[in-house]
Amino acid sequence: MSEPPTTRLLPWVSPDGKTCILLSEGSGESGFSRVADRMEDVQLEMADGLLDHAADMLGDGTATDRQLRFLGEQLSAALRDVRRVAGSRGERLSAGG
């Protein structure tokens, strides 16, 4: 008897903002799953770098309103990515995968 398919929340959305899900046979380990793993790693690394940049920018006191607004937009996008990664990993942990 074959294992039921596994689902995985992917670390991106469709062009119209809809959730993307990967449906896999068996363990859920596939080439596409590894691409998603790497994308999650990149998103987390970028969020770390952005936090360092934000600390520097806020600490120096010379940032313009426009620069701070852009920083806020990028921090918001990074936080959205990190939440998505955390949700996906939490689902996989609770499913035993």
Beta bridge partners of 19: 13
Residue 17: DSSP 8-state = S
The pLDDT tens digits of the residues spanning 23-72 come to 887 666 788 899 999 999 999 999 999 999 999 999 999 999 999 999 99
Beta bridge partners of 22: 8
> Is residue 22's pLDDT more than 80?
yes
With residue 59 as reference, give the H or E element that holds it. Answer: helix 31-60
Determine contact, residues 88/19, Cβ cutoff 8 Å. Answer: no
Q: Is the pTM of this model over 0.85?
A: no
Determine contact, residues 64/72, Cβ cutoff 8 Å. Answer: no
94: which 2 tokens? 């609770």
CA angle 72, 76, 77 (to 5 degrees): 120
